[in-house]
Structure formats: C-alpha cells, structure tokens
Chains A and B, each alone.
Chain A
Amino acid sequence: MALVHSAGPLWSRSRPALLRKVVRHCLFRTIITGGKGTKLEMFPQKLVLPENHGYVPTLSPREISMLLTTNEARFMNDGHWSSAVQGFESNQLASNYPIEDRRAVAQLTQTDGSLFSVIDGHGGMACAQAVTERLFYYVAASLLPYQHLEAYSHSLRTDLPIELLGWHKFNNAYRRDPVPPTYRNSLTKFVVESLSLSGLEDDVDLVANSIKSAFIGLDSDISSEAMPVAGVFDVDALDAAFSGACVCMAHVSGLDLHVANSGDSRAVIGQLNDKGQWVAKRMSVDQNVDNEAEVKRVVSSHPPAEARHVLKNSRLLGQLVPLRAFGDVRFKWSLQELKNLVNLLDTTYVHSIVPTNYYTPPYLIATPDVMHHRLTPADRFLVMATDGIWETMSNSRVVQLVGEYIEGKETHDHFKPTDSGTKLGEINSVLLKRKATLARKADDHNVSTHLIRHALGADHGKVSEMLTLPADIVRYYRDDMTIVVVYFDSEYIASHQ
C-alpha cells in the first residue's frame, strides 16, 4: 500500500465510507467464491493480543519461520526451456488483512519470453486483483506479431481461445471464477484495436511500445467498464476502478530485459563485477514526488494556476503518493462523470469522492516508463519488490543480501573432489573459497524470505515485534511486502551474446 509513508492507512482518508462498504462486500464475495486460494487462516490474527493486555507474545523461531514461509514460491528452469531465466523465488508478507499486494509470473507460450510482476494495491485489493488477472493477456497480445495477433483475435471469438500464457500458480493466489465476461469482451476489443494500429508504431523499441499500449489499454478498460450505463453500474468493475494498483513488470526474451513501471514498486538488477563485488543496477525509477522528472511531467500537464494544488503534502492532489497507477479513477474521470456516479450512489458523499481542486482531469495515468537492458553474464538476478521492502532497505543492501545468499547457497552442498586426480593444493583453494561464503549461509531456503526477514529487523526479537503488532497499527510500521527474485543463467547469457 503506497500511502503509508506519512499519513497512515489510505482508505480511512481517501475513500468514502460507502465505497468502503461496497469494497468490503465485493471483497468478501470474491473471497468466498474464490475457492482454493482464499487462505484466510494464513494470517493468524490470534497471535496479536489487544494492547491493554500489557503482554506482547514473543514468537518462537518456529512460529516466525512458519509465518514467513507460508507464501514462499519457487520455480527453477532446470533446463526445461531455453531461456536466460534460470528460475525465480518469491514471497509475500501481509500487513493489510487480507493482503493488497499481488504477484504474477507467467511464461509466454508463443515466444521464449516470460513475464514477472509485482502489484501493489491500495484502497483495497480489487484493482490489484484485476490487474493481476488481466495485464499479462494485454501484454502477451500486444507482443504478438500481426499474423499471430490475427489468429488470436479469431480464436477469441471461439470457445477455445489460444492460451497465450503458462501461469505460475501461487499457493495463496485466487482467481475470480467464473471470469466476468467483460474481461474477455474488453480484451477482444483491445486486440482488434491493436490489429488496426499494427504497423503504425514507432519501431525504435517495439517491445517497449507494446508493453506501454497494453498498460494503457487495460487501464482504460478498467475505467470504462466501471462507467454506469443508463443508470446501472457493475459493483465489481466499480470496485476495481476506484481502488488503485502500482505495477512493476519485467519481460525477458532472449537477452532483452524490459522493465515497465507504473507507480512506486521497484526493480533492480544484481551484478557481480570483475572484482567479485555485488553492484545494484536500477531498472525503474519510483514515480513519486522524489522523482524530479515525474514532478515536472505532472505539473506541466496542468495549467500553471494549479501548480500548487496538483502536488500538495508530497501527494497528488494532497491524497495519492504514487504519481502513476492503474485504477484510481477518482483522479482520472471528468468531474461530471464522478458527479453522475455520486448521484447514483448517495449525494452526501460527493465531496469525499471528488478530490478538492479537481479542475483538469486526468491527473493520474497508468502509462509505464519502460527501461531496456541487454543482459550480460555479469547480470545474476533481478529483484522486483513493492515499496514495503524499499522503505526499509536500499537497492545496494538488497543486492548485497541476495548476492551473499546465492554464494552461501552454493556451499549448502557438501564438497567432494570430483576427479580422483585432483591435487591437494587445488582442493585447498576451492575449500578456502567456500570458507568465505560458508559464514554467509542463510537459514532461509528462499531468498525472498531472507529479504523479508532482513526488512523486518536484524534480530529475532525485532522480527517477532514486527509480526505481533496489533492489526489496527501494523500498517504504520510495515507495509505489505511482495518480492520476486528472477535468477539469470549466466552460462546461457554468455553463450548467446
């Protein structure tokens, strides 16, 4: 959740009570119908006692590991398919109940590409959920060459559309079932539009532009699906459009890595330089008020008279921390559109829905900045994480932790001289190298868990304290955290350079 920095929980400030109810209602429905992945019991609230008990339990090491490892995910390529991606590890820790963060990983069936994404929802989870389920289809479609897109377009009209994605299933994920028909309708429309625009794009970076158009396309669909038609509105669509989501997405194909970022999640490459040091290479720039270019963009797209209102208290219109996001149509729709909706719901809330000084919408866009990087053997991994992690640790700290974790992991296996002819001197030098990394051997079996543990605190007591904060204040201390670490296969990269 993006707003925690200075002001506290977002939905108590920027959302009308009724919408909150609507959201709660939808949310429950989603959870109840969600089937397998709901996992309500995975957040053991009973560990947290009311403050007036005067006793805060200290979690046992085992309890902490249980809490931290519930959402672990891991997949290793192990030569299944030819790719620069060796595999990934991921984990999530909830602060909101239920968690508003999402993550998505999928392989593209039509190319060698794969997609990774961390999604940070705010004002509820509906938008983040919608983006999680839908964005990759938009991206996959817009990445298709014309003929393939055409074929896909055709298949969408059949009962068995071509499956563009091989999803990684996370154990705590849930999907809406049945999928609302609007999803498919909107996607079909998007595909048709893409077909008509095909060939018109600037060829400088086809992939970047395709990703951009996918982001824009999905956001506009989320927005338009929520528009009341003839006085009737779709509660689910409304819920998705009125909540928001920051998205950071990576696409790896061949040796090309694209990272598209909309909001304040972040992606960083971990490189091992010639001197054996771990170096962080930034692959996205947070779009918030700390980002000068972004501030300039926002201010310049509105009349100068608005300059002092557009960004107030380091927030968009004094309310929203990220300067780009999916959903959040309160910052996108025209004043009239918002008022119409308010009339339909309940007139008393008009002022809370429409931000003050709302003159020249849209104030918010979902268009991502896309950064491209050609992978080299020095690139060992990519860390993507929501701002819950970056608030506590710098890029270089994260890269250092992951790098040392990998080195430590290499010594998990017992050393055995492979060749019987190995000289003792050689064995000793290998052992000496291992020795340096043995000390770094981490207890966690998943690097994301390792990162979360470090984000929470240096020692057991601190971690326990962070995990036992009462539900009503936990968000002041820690945000939802979602991490995806993508490992690169440096041998593959070296041989394909």
Chain B
Amino acid sequence: MHRLIRYTERLCLRRRSGASALLKNANRRLTCNITKRHSSTEQFGSAVLPESARVVICGGGVVGTSLAYHLTLLGWSDVVLLEQGSLTCGTTWHAAGQVTRLRWSAVETALTMYSTELYQQLEDEGYHTGWKKCGSINVARTDDRLLAYKRALVNAKPLGIEGQILSPEQVKDRIPMLRTDDIKGGIWLPDDGVVNPTDLTMALAKKAREGGVKIVERCKVQRVQTENDMVSAVVTDQGSIACKFFVNCAGQWAWELGQLCDQPVRVPLHPCAHFYLVTKPFGDINPMMPVVRDFDGYIYLREWGGGILGGGFEPMGKPVFHDGIPPKFEFELLNEDWDQFQILLEQLLHRLPGLQAAEVKQFVNGPESFTPDGRYILGHAPEVGNYYVAAGMNATGVMAAGGVGKAMAEWIVNGETDMFLWSQDVRRFAELHNNKKFLRARVKETTGATMSCAGPDIEYESGRGVRTSPLYTRLQNSGAIFGQIIGFEPALYFDSPSVLMDTFSETRDERQAAHSSFGKPAWFDQVKAEYWACREGVCLIDMSTFTKFELMSAGNEVVDFLQYVCSNDIDKPIGSIMHTGMQNHSGGFENDCSIVRLAHNKFFMIGPTAQQIRSFAWLKRHLPKDGSVQLNDVTSMYTSINVIGPKARQLLTELTDTPLDKNNFPSMTYKEIDVAQASQVKAMRLTHTGEDGWMLYIPSEYALHVYDSLMAAGKNYGIRNAGYYALRALRMEKFFAYWGTDLTPQVTPIECGRESRVKFHIGGFIGCPALLHQRSTGIKKRLAQFLLEDHDTEEDTWPWGGEPIYRNGKFCGTVTSTTYGFTLDRHVCMGYVQDFDEKTGEPNIITNDFVLRNAKYTIDIAGKRFSVKSGIYPPTLVSAAIVIGSG
C-alpha cells in the first residue's frame, strides 16, 4: 500500500495544470451526449489474433484496458486484449464518470486515489480523458452520516487525502442551488473529479498499444482451455491463442465467461439496472460545479453539458439479464423504467429544487454488475492456476479502474500484491455465491448498499439461512443473532431470552438508537454476559463455520508436505496439536491454522472460516504432483462445539469415560472420545481463546445429541451459548492475532511476535529464506496491542478498525482489529507500528525499543485523539473474581 502512496505523491508533485485546460475540457462537453464514440477500430484498426501471448485479457472496458496498460508499465508487453464487440461497448460507455478518492474502506480509497492521479497525469500528457478536477461534496442528512464521513476522512488522511468537513452554510456557499436546510453538513473533497469514461478507456488503450499490447476487437471467447488445472489456450471465434496467463475482465459477462472455462471459475456477480438522467442545459450551471453525493437520498449529481447528470442507487435494485445477457449487447441500454427511477428522481428534485423545471435530454438505464458484498472481485482464481479475475465493480469501475489495473498487474507479474486486497479477493467466495438465484436476491440489496454508510456490524437480509450449522435452529430458538462468513452463518451473540420475551423492553434497534452507528453497540450487555460466562463458568460456542481439512498419505509423504507448507514443526507425536502459519514466498501469512496429528500419516487442519476456498487452493497448488498426498475439505462433515470455560472439564467428565485431567489430557492434545451416547467425537484441548476447554469435532449426525446432552448436563453449571463476538473479546484481550485482519500475506511471523512458532532449526518450508533474511536484517513493522486510556465507552465513538495510530504525534500505522476487553475494562486494539522515514516515506528497520521506549501513542477515532497504552506481549489478566471484588 505504501508503495502506492509514494507513487501518488510523486504524481501530485508532477501535475498542477492550469484551470484554463479544465475549462476547455468542460466546454468541449457542452455538446456531448451519452452516446457511443467512434469505435477504436476506426482510429487504430483491430489487431490480428496472434498464436500466443504471455497474457490474454478478455474484456475491452475501462478495467481491461487499464490492466493492459499497467502490465506494460511493469515491462510485460506480450499482452493481447480481446473484446467481443468494440472497446467500451459493454457498460463502460454509459458510466457517469465520477471519480472520488474517498471510499468507505482504506483499500478502495487507495485504489481510487491512485486512479485520480493517473487520470490527471494522462490528461496532462495530452491524452484526453475528460478529467475535470471539480471536486466533490458529500452531504449528510444525519449526524450519523456526518460521523461516517469524518471517520472515513480521518482514517484515509495518512494516505494523503485532502478533505474538509463543511457546515450546511458552507455547502450552500459552494453550490448555491443546492437545498441545504435539511442537512447536518458535508464533506468537501477538492481533489475529486469527473472523467469521460469513453475517452479515458481510449486513452488507456492508446497507452497500452504504445507499450506493445495488441487489441483484438470483434473477437468472442468461446472456451478457455485448461491442462493440469492451468489455462493453456483461449479458443475464440477468430481462432485459438495460447497463453501463460488469462484475465477475466469481462464486466457483466464475467460470470458467463467463468463458466466457459474447462474448469469453471466462480465470478459471483449479477447485472442490475442502473439509472441516471441528463437534463437539457438550464439555469446557469457552473461547469466546475462539484459532484454532489447525497448518500441518505441514494443519489449523485454532476454537471453535464450545461445541464445536470443525476442518478443514484435505489435501496432495492432491479436485477436484469437473469437468464443471460442477450447476444450483441453493444452500446445498448435497457428499457426505460421510470417507475423504478421515481425514488431517485424524488430525491434529485429534493436536493436540487431547480431541477423541477428542467427538461429531460436523455434517460439512461444501463446494466451494471454487482457482487454479493458490494466489493470488487479481484485476483487469482482458486480453481485454475493461472486464471485471474478483475470484475464486479459495482458501478464504480471508472473510479476504480486505475488502481485496480495497477494492483492486478502487480499481482500477475509478482504473484503477490503490496496491498492487502483480501476484502476484494475472488477467493472469499464459495460456490453458493455463484448461484444465480442467490445472486439475484442479493444484488438487489448490494445496489442500495453502494450508498449506505455501513455501520460496523451491518448484515445483509437477503440470501440468509442458506448455509447453516446443524445446530442453527437450536441457536435461533435461544435468540442467536447470526452473521455471515463466506456464506456460513455463525451466531455472533445471543439476545438474552428476557429481552426477547418482554414486550416492554427495548428492541435491538431501539437500544442501538441510543448511540450512533459507530458508538456503543446494542449487543454490549449480551456479549459482556457471554464473555464472563466463558471466563468463569462454562459456555458452548458453535464453531462449525471453521474450515476443516483432512490430509493423509500412504507413507510419510503427508509429513513432508506439511513440513514444506507450514512454518512450524508439525512432525510431533500422534495426538499433538500444532499452531502454525503457512507462509508465502515473502514469509507472509498465507494462512494461520491449527494442525492435529491423528495418525502418523493423517492430519486434521483447522483454519479460519474465511480461508475455506483460499487455503484449499493454496494447499492443492503445492501438493506433490504424484498424487501421493490426499487433501479433503471436511468442513461440512463436522459440527464443532467449543466447550469453553473453567468448568468445562467438570461438565465434560459427566458425559465421557475418558479421563480429562491435565496429566491424561493435556492442553494442545487430541483424543477421540465418547460424549454422552455419541461416539467418534474428536476432542481437542484448546479453545482458540486461551481459556481452558475442548473443541469437539462431532460427526454431524451426532451433533444435536451432543449439544442437547451438554446443555442438559450443563444446567447445573449455568451453561449458556456464546457467540463470535465474545470469542473475539476473549482472544484479543490475550493478544491472539487473527488471520484476515492482523495476520496478512504482507505480515511475517517475526513482525507479529510469532518467531517461536517458526522452525528455523529445520527450515525447508515456503518462505524460509525470506524469513531468515528478515531475521538477520530486522523488521519494519511490529504488531502491538493498544489499550484505550481515556475513552468514554458510552459517549465516544468506538474504534472499529482502520483508525490511524500516531507515535509521538507521527503517523505510524493503522488499527487492524478491535474489541472491548471486559476484564481489562477498556478497548483493546491491535495494529502495526512502523517508522516512516521523514524524507523518503519508506519504513525504517525498527526494534522492540522503538515500539516500547519513549513512545506516546494516540489513536484518532473520527477526529478525536485518544491516548493508548501499548504492549507487544500478552497482558496478565487478573481473575474475574478479583475484578468483581474490587469493582
């Protein structure tokens, strides 16, 4: 990510063109309509399909061309871009062309920031992109929304974002025709702007051609051929082309293109109608009028040819093309649907009353692809070795294309990215996400989610209850509130029965209404009770969502294989449980998991829920080619119950004949035991939290019996259910880092204090050389735990991750994960500490002393700085009895 920032900074220095050029641009558009431009064929002539290429990109929209261009920047010129029609003809040509730097997440902000700089640069170099740096104003109708803006701005500031919170009056000053009497304020982003998407794509294509890329138009992919799980050639209606890499940039066609591969590739997206209108010129609209976004009204507005271009994303979108996209859908629009548009029109008229008298010049209803979670689909497809995807832009393709093209090019060329792009990674999806019925139901919601500010724990309502644990209905009856990870639904917490029964007590929404979306959450008291039950009594946590693999071989092959992919020594006695990372070649965490040795040649692997597809692909890719090691995903076979708490042993003793004392069943060991009348339960003495207890992996047909028996016997122990929020609090307080937030492919075990879990004495594992090098040269970031000092839990905005950390007033890193620590009675955050060089911006080598000595840390939460206490070792947690006694 920081390489990217440096790059953008360089760009910032280079440009600053005069305002006259901008005005010239604006005038040029006075006559322009949303319409197709000259096809590039007329300008350049389409290339002939070569016999082979290093990279074949399918899709000639803004994303595909940007990727082609960025590949040339990295020195790869043997690139062929295939377009079934002509460039931009799919959905790029009807994009509204707004480009903002500030997005809700830091990753997307970094991508779009790079885009703005790139577009400016292209324009400066004389490539017409229609770039107009008019800035933008996002207005807020509620305090909550304003807080969301502030938070996003504060979190993005270290990236170099310029922005300013405006009062309603200041908004009015900047855009007098805007209605401002109902807003709480706004945010002014001076570096935002607009482009002409067609011009931009043509500019990128021209750049790519100059770099050697061949663009073949009117060339439709019919099949993507694979050999040994690798793309070998692409069959088109113009013939076949062999390639080393294939990239699916097919936009709304990407789902279908994924199916055309011999080994089908999941690209979960579904087109939805997206509407905007362009008015005839009216009033005296300043060509440099900032783009206006009114998220609470789901709308955006920009100047266009002397009139207004206004559109938006209605709360419930309208999926289209469920049965396939019609052939030859080139420069085509969908039928007008004013009834669907009304909700947006109403808001446009509300925000800009002057529009009442404006006349329509053009009504545009073009399809845009949306994904199950409103994030992009990028990266390396898990199904096929050299198949990459960059699609699912959720109607923000134009602003994302620059950054996405750059990141994807690095991904393809280096095999890894500098940025942690997991939130946009194609491997976060399971097969259910690619189900068209699921997609159709879900994208209705994601369309609207484009405009929602997404509080910390907002869950989708559609596509729920699809993938659940066998205990789902039991937990539901106990008041479980479920989340969704890779489609699987764990209980996050339990709304206590008294709350559910008593009609006079507040509902969840009412409880939440007392605080802002980013403040103390409605579940606080429930999770607190669950937490203490885990620490003082006994709880059951259904952890069936966790990824479970079985690995075995006839001889010793599986041991050799695991020693190769794991950084910890797994060649331990039968019955041992090993925590280990799986590192990539840079030593970063590809995965973080627990490995159980069931037999000398058989292992059981437990990984994070979200890792199911990703880690399977990683392991499969590294399996011995001779097929001697067998890898099975058994996630769906077992129901996992965490029996957690100091009373877990007493309880479990009632239900099993196996001795459970520390001598017979030590911590971090495994035994197959009977529980109640069920057999073959895999019991492991670990809880993933540091508390005592057992993880029971129960063949699913015994799950209800085991759960009910534990609950019945547990009655005298005060047993109760607990959810993942309590789990997180328990874990984080003890400084257990977690893959996906704290541990990433960009982080090594040395940087997060897990050096002791690396088998340097044995070596021979992936990433070992990189780690050895780092051990000798030193680390540039260090994971630390931060305890919020002067934070008012009731009143202050909570940290939720992404907040900047300042060391002695200087930015040093970002919060990766947060929780409220109920024993410590304050917020616990994790984050990396870095030392950015004053001159170069590069991170310097740091020591523990840098982290711990002479360092005063603060964390900026939505504009308010809180001092924090830092540590790099797990804190000693006083027992609850004392806390209770003293409190």
A interface residues, Cβ below 8 angstroms from B: 411, 414-417, 420-425, 427-428, 431-432, 434-435, 438
With a CB–CB cut-off of 8 A, which chain B residues contact A421? Answer: 359
For the complex, give the distance between the alpha carbons of A427 and B357 in Å.
10
With a CB–CB cut-off of 8 A, which chain B residues contact A434? Answer: 339, 342
- Which 6 interchain pairs have the tightest Cβ spacing? A425-B356, A431-B342, A415-B338, A424-B355, A424-B358, A428-B345
With a CB–CB cut-off of 8 A, which chain A residues contact B342? Answer: 428, 431-432, 434-435
The reply on B279 being an interface residue by CB < 8 A is: yes
With a CB–CB cut-off of 8 A, which chain A residues contact B634? Answer: none
For the complex, give the distance between the alpha carbons of A423 and B338 in Å.
14
CB-based contact A422/B359 at 8 Å: yes
With a CB–CB cut-off of 8 A, which chain B residues contact A438? Answer: 339
CB-based contact A411/B359 at 8 Å: no
Contact mask B70-111 → A, CB, 8 Å, 1/0? 000000000000000000000000000000000000000000
- Tell me the minimal C-beta distance from B792 to chain A in angstroms: 45
The reply on B842 being an interface residue by CB < 8 A is: no
CB-based contact A431/B339 at 8 Å: yes
Q: Which chain A residue lies CB-closest to B352?
A: A424
Q: Which chain B residue lies CB-closest to A421?
A: B359
For the complex, give the distance between the alpha carbons of A410 and B5 in Å.
56
With a CB–CB cut-off of 8 A, which chain B residues contact A427? Answer: 338, 345, 360
For the complex, give the distance between the alpha carbons of A415 and B363 in Å.
12
CB-based contact B339/A420 at 8 Å: no
With a CB–CB cut-off of 8 A, which chain B residues contact A416? Answer: 336, 338
- Tell me the minimal C-beta distance from B579 to chain A in angstroms: 54
CB-based contact B359/A428 at 8 Å: no
With a CB–CB cut-off of 8 A, which chain A residues contact B345? Answer: 424, 427-428, 431
For the complex, give the distance between the alpha carbons of A424 and B346 in Å.
10
CB-based contact A423/B356 at 8 Å: yes
For the complex, give the distance between the alpha carbons of A305 and B359 in Å.
82
Using a CB-CB cutoff of 8 Å, which residues 302-361 of chain B contact chain A? 335-339, 341-342, 345-346, 348-349, 355-360
- Tell me the minimal C-beta distance from B179 to chain A in angstroms: 14
Having A415-B339, A417-B360, A434-B342, one finds 17 other A-B pairs with CB under 8 Å, namely: A411-B339, A414-B337, A415-B338, A417-B338, A422-B359, A423-B357, A423-B358, A423-B359, A424-B279, A424-B358, A425-B357, A428-B342, A428-B346, A431-B342, A434-B339, A435-B339, A435-B342
- Tell me the minimal C-beta distance from A425 to chain B in angstroms: 3
Q: Given A424-B279, A424-B345, A425-B349, is A431 in contact with B359 using a C-beta cutoff of 8 Å? A: no
For the complex, give the distance between the alpha carbons of A486 and B2 in Å.
74
- Tell me the minimal C-beta distance from B306 to chain A in angstroms: 16
With a CB–CB cut-off of 8 A, which chain A residues contact B356? Answer: 423-425
For the complex, give the distance between the alpha carbons of A421 and B279 in Å.
11
With a CB–CB cut-off of 8 A, which chain B residues contact A414? Answer: 335-339
Q: Given A427-B345, A428-B349, A431-B342, is A422 in contact with B337 using a C-beta cutoff of 8 Å? A: no
For the complex, give the distance between the alpha carbons of A414 and B341 in Å.
12
Interface size of B by Cβ–Cβ distance < 8 Å? 19
For the complex, give the distance between the alpha carbons of A210 and B349 in Å.
61
For the complex, give the distance between the alpha carbons of A343 and B624 in Å.
104
With a CB–CB cut-off of 8 A, which chain B residues contact A424? Answer: 277, 279, 345, 348-349, 355-360
- Tell me the minimal C-beta distance from B297 to chain A in angstroms: 14
With a CB–CB cut-off of 8 A, which chain A residues contact B335? Answer: 414
For the complex, give the distance between the alpha carbons of A199 and B341 in Å.
65
Residue with the highest number of chain B CB atoms closer than 10 Å, among A411, A421, A424:
A424
- Tell me the minimal C-beta distance from A380 to chain B in angstroms: 23
For the complex, give the distance between the alpha carbons of A489 and B339 in Å.
27
Q: Which chain B residue lies CB-closest to A423?
A: B357
CB-based contact B338/A431 at 8 Å: yes
For the complex, give the distance between the alpha carbons of A416 and B279 in Å.
15
CB<8 Å pairs between A and B, sample of 26? A414-B336, A414-B337, A414-B338, A416-B338, A420-B360, A422-B359, A423-B356, A423-B357, A423-B359, A424-B277, A424-B279, A424-B349, A424-B355, A424-B358, A424-B359, A424-B360, A425-B349, A425-B355, A428-B342, A428-B345, A431-B345, A432-B346, A434-B339, A434-B342, A435-B339, A435-B342
For the complex, give the distance between the alpha carbons of A428 and B356 in Å.
9
For the complex, give the distance between the alpha carbons of A428 and B339 in Å.
9
With a CB–CB cut-off of 8 A, which chain B residues contact A422? Answer: 359-360
- Tell me the minimal C-beta distance from A431 to chain B in angstroms: 4
Q: Which chain A residue lies CB-closest to B336?
A: A416
- Tell me the minimal C-beta distance from B515 to chain A in angstroms: 34
With a CB–CB cut-off of 8 A, which chain B residues contact A425? Answer: 349, 355-357
With a CB–CB cut-off of 8 A, which chain A residues contact B359? Answer: 420-424
With a CB–CB cut-off of 8 A, which chain A residues contact B341? Answer: 431
For the complex, give the distance between the alpha carbons of A432 and B348 in Å.
14
- Tell me the minimal C-beta distance from B334 to chain A in angstroms: 11
With a CB–CB cut-off of 8 A, which chain A residues contact B279? Answer: 424
With a CB–CB cut-off of 8 A, which chain A residues contact B355? Answer: 424-425
Q: Which chain B residue lies CB-closest to A435?
A: B342
- Tell me the minimal C-beta distance from B838 to chain A in angstroms: 54
For the complex, give the distance between the alpha carbons of A431 and B336 in Å.
13
For the complex, give the distance between the alpha carbons of A461 and B183 in Å.
49
For the complex, give the distance between the alpha carbons of A424 and B351 in Å.
13
- Tell me the minimal C-beta distance from B383 to chain A in angstroms: 37
For the complex, give the distance between the alpha carbons of A417 and B358 in Å.
13
For the complex, give the distance between the alpha carbons of A423 and B357 in Å.
5
Q: Which chain A residue lies CB-closest to B277?
A: A424
Contact mask B529-548 → A, CB, 8 Å, 1/0? 00000000000000000000
With a CB–CB cut-off of 8 A, which chain B residues contact A431? Answer: 338-339, 341-342, 345
- Tell me the minimal C-beta distance from B389 to chain A in angstroms: 35
- Tell me the minimal C-beta distance from A224 to chain B in angstroms: 62
With a CB–CB cut-off of 8 A, which chain A residues contact B348? Answer: 424
Q: Which chain B residue lies CB-closest to A415?
A: B338
With a CB–CB cut-off of 8 A, which chain A residues contact B360? Answer: 417, 420, 422, 424, 427
For the complex, give the distance between the alpha carbons of A421 and B342 in Å.
18
- Tell me the minimal C-beta distance from B358 to chain A in angstroms: 5
With a CB–CB cut-off of 8 A, which chain A residues contact B346? Answer: 428, 432
With a CB–CB cut-off of 8 A, which chain A residues contact B337? Answer: 414
For the complex, give the distance between the alpha carbons of A420 and B279 in Å.
11
Q: Which chain A residue lies CB-closest to B349?
A: A428
For the complex, give the distance between the alpha carbons of A432 and B358 in Å.
18
For the complex, give the distance between the alpha carbons of A383 and B342 in Å.
34
For the complex, give the distance between the alpha carbons of A440 and B453 in Å.
33
Q: Which chain A residue lies CB-closest to B343?
A: A435
Q: Which chain A residue lies CB-closest to B342?
A: A431
For the complex, give the distance between the alpha carbons of A423 and B355 in Å.
8
For the complex, give the distance between the alpha carbons of A422 and B360 in Å.
7
- Tell me the minimal C-beta distance from B8 to chain A in angstroms: 39
For the complex, give the distance between the alpha carbons of A428 and B337 in Å.
13
- Tell me the minimal C-beta distance from B313 to chain A in angstroms: 18
For the complex, give the distance between the alpha carbons of A420 and B363 in Å.
11
With a CB–CB cut-off of 8 A, which chain A residues contact B277? Answer: 424
For the complex, give the distance between the alpha carbons of A435 and B360 in Å.
20
With a CB–CB cut-off of 8 A, which chain A residues contact B358? Answer: 423-424
For the complex, give the distance between the alpha carbons of A357 and B342 in Å.
70
Q: Which chain A residue lies CB-closest to B310?
A: A424
Q: Which chain A residue lies CB-closest to B356?
A: A425
With a CB–CB cut-off of 8 A, which chain B residues contact A423? Answer: 356-359
For the complex, give the distance between the alpha carbons of A432 and B345 in Å.
10
With a CB–CB cut-off of 8 A, which chain A residues contact B336? Answer: 414-416
- Tell me the minimal C-beta distance from A335 to chain B in angstroms: 69
